[in-house]
Amino acid sequence: MSDRKSHWENVYAEKSPLDVSWYQKEPTVSLELIQETGIARDVAIIDVGGGASVLVDRLQEEGYSNLAVLDVSENALTSARKRLGEAAESIEWIAVDVTEFDVPHSFSVWHDRAVFHFLTDASDRKKYVDVLSRAIRPGGHLIIAAFAIGGPEKCSGLDIVQYDAGKLCAELGPDFELLEERSEVHVTPANAQQQFIYFRFTRKTP
């Protein structure tokens, strides 16, 4: 078991998903950015690091029917499946470290709220971008949220990398075009404020 997997399995074994600092009662910005892509309701969407997030619930409620959730923690995914009950059966659940993801098919939307910023090693970031490039179809969409410059320097006891548009674009390379960015102040269950920034890209068509 990798250190990364061990860490997150322990987090979700020891805490309720409602108590972790990244918990959102309503993933409003994520949902709005996905809706702004204008995709059809039946195309493939993957929530990377979705864990126990309720984004997949909200997407189902909005009629999106081709959904996948990836997380390194089996415990997080189990929590989400229990919450959704029978509705979980139509979702593709993937328990793997994103840097080791063997992409089974292409996706029209890749959503990542606060996974990429945990990749402090340049080699892990390169692996992530390589996986991303295999996963998103040309003309598809990428939504990434991370701690903004001046935001937290750690999360869940781990170091993170803060981002602005220039820094993230340099990591992703020339195949992705930035369409939009938004700032958000996330209020944790403990009432701490965290500066987030969201980016929406499109994968350029060759």
- Where residue 164 sits, what CATH number does that domain have? 3.40.50.150
The CA angle 135-205-198, to the nearest 5 degrees, is 60
- Inter-axis angle of helices 3-14 and 74-84, to 10 degrees? 40
Find, among 113, 97, 124, the residue nearest to 146 by Cα: 113
Domain count for the chain? 1
Facing residues of 158 across strands?
155
The confidence score (pLDDT) of residue 12 equals 66
State the average pLDDT over residues 80-107.
95
Residue 1: pLDDT band (50, 70, 90) is very low
Domain enclosing residue 63, as ranges = 3-203
Is the pLDDT confidence value at 16 over 70?
A: no
Q: Which residues contact 158 (CB under 8 A, 6 or more apart)?
A: 7, 118
The confidence score (pLDDT) of residue 145 equals 95
The confidence score (pLDDT) of residue 191 equals 78
Dmax (CA) of the chain: 46
- Contact between 148 and 164 under an 8 Å Cβ cutoff? The reply is yes
Q: Which residue has the higher pLDDT, 144 or 9?
A: 144
Cα-Cα-Cα-Cα dihedral sign, residues 90, 93, 202, 147: positive
The confidence score (pLDDT) of residue 151 equals 86
> Which range, of 5-9, 21-25, 168-172, 188-192, averages the lowest pLDDT?
21-25
* Cα 91 to Cα 196: distance, rounded to the nearest angstrom: 28
- Contact between 135 and 165 under an 8 Å Cβ cutoff? The reply is no
